[in-house]
Amino acid sequence: MDPNTALTFTLVERFLTPLLPRSTFGRIQPYLRQAQQILDALPTNALGRWPSKVRVIHRGPPLRLPEIDDAILDAVTYGLLEGRRLDVEYHSRERGERTCCELNPLGLVVKGGVAYLICTFWQYTDVRQVVLHRVHRAEVLEAPAIVPEGFDLDRYIQEGEFSYLVGEPMRLEAVFSHGAAFHLHDTPLGADQVVTELDHERVLLQATVENTAELRWWLLGFGELVEVLAPADLREEFRARAAAMAALYRQRPSSIATRPRARRSR
């Protein structure tokens, strides 16, 4: 194994572990150990220091990632790899209780540190998402998984299943402060984006975008630095949100906020 290959294995271990089948990850353990030994033995160890010089940062506040039982992850990835059905028990957020069912695994998606099993239930063909850290038991069955005709994981994602579609694509028009819109010149919202200077403080952004909940969260994150002009229903939605927030902050702090802080148990 040459040093560049060793570095690749080291980065695979750091960044791709959640995406690898557990059986595969177990099989490459000897290579991972050998890779680390090679990097440690380099005279200048420049490549060995490379992992300490690169990081992947996700948007939003740092969240503590949920833990997934190794046995459950083993069963899920093996069932997905071999195309076999799963018998699982998971905590349903909608029902607020544990549910037993059979799943047909179709894909595994990791978003924001949370792992989602894309699957169908029993003999049904509608595709669902099961959050893996809510699964309490998983067993691989002998029965082959039922795959809906024409299912494609990339197309499923591109159709907005992880962006929480609200409606059809729309033509967004919004006024941004110069600072808030600066990065949009490098990372446009859409292929047809147009940014027009209004004055030395503001720009008008126009782009065709997906009508998603994520778009709303992104726009709301700018606060008073962005004003939505169109479409009209989105502007009205933001006006109502702003009014509700203004009313909330006009009130005295709630009793919850003024209670003494609870001490942590030791």
Q: What is the pLDDT of residue 67?
A: 79
Alpha carbon distance 184, 245 (integer Å)? 27
Q: Pick the last residue of a domain from 116, 133, 161.
A: 161
Based on the domain organization, do 88 and 147 belong to the same domain?
yes
Number of compact structural domains in the chain: 3
DSSP letters of the chain? --HHHHHHHHHHHHHSGGGS-HHHHHHTHHHHHHHHHHHHT-SS-HHHHGGGG-----SSS--PPPP--HHHHHHHHHHHHHTEEEEEEEEETTTTEEEEEEEEEEEEEEETTEEEEEEEETT--S-EEEEGGGEEEEEEEEEEPP--TT--HHHHIIIIITTTB-SS-EEEEEEEEHHHHGGGGTS-SSTT-EEEE-SSSEEEEEEEE--BHHHHHHHHTTGGGEEEEESHHHHHHHHHHHHHHHHHHHSPPPHHHHSPPPPPP-
pLDDT at 149: 93
Does 88 lie in the same domain as 15? no
- Residue 266's pLDDT is 40
- pTM across the whole model: 0.65
Type of residue numbered 23: S
Question: CB of 13 within 8 A of CB of 32?
Answer: yes
Question: What pLDDT sits at residue 58?
Answer: 67
Indicate whether 178 and 208 sit together in one domain.
yes
Q: Give me the tens of pLDDT residue by residue for the chain, a chain 266 residues long.
A: 888 888 888 888 777 776 666 666 777 888 888 988 888 887 676 777 777 777 776 666 666 667 788 888 889 988 998 999 999 999 877 777 888 999 999 999 888 778 899 999 999 999 999 998 899 999 999 999 999 999 999 999 888 778 777 778 999 999 999 988 888 888 898 889 999 999 999 999 999 998 988 899 899 999 999 999 999 999 999 999 999 999 988 887 765 555 555 554 44
Q: Do 31 and 9 form a contact (C-beta atoms < 8 A)? A: yes
Indicate the residue among 108, 135, 161 that finishes a domain.
161
Residues 84, 18: one domain?
no
The pLDDT, as a whole number, for residue 244 is 93
CATH number of the domain enclosing 177: 3.30.70
Domain enclosing residue 22, as ranges: 3-53
CA 28/CA 19 separation, integer angstroms: 14
pLDDT at position 259 is: 54
Q: Is residue 261 part of a domain?
A: no
Single-letter residue type at 39: L
Residue 257 lies in a domain: no
pLDDT of residue 265: 43
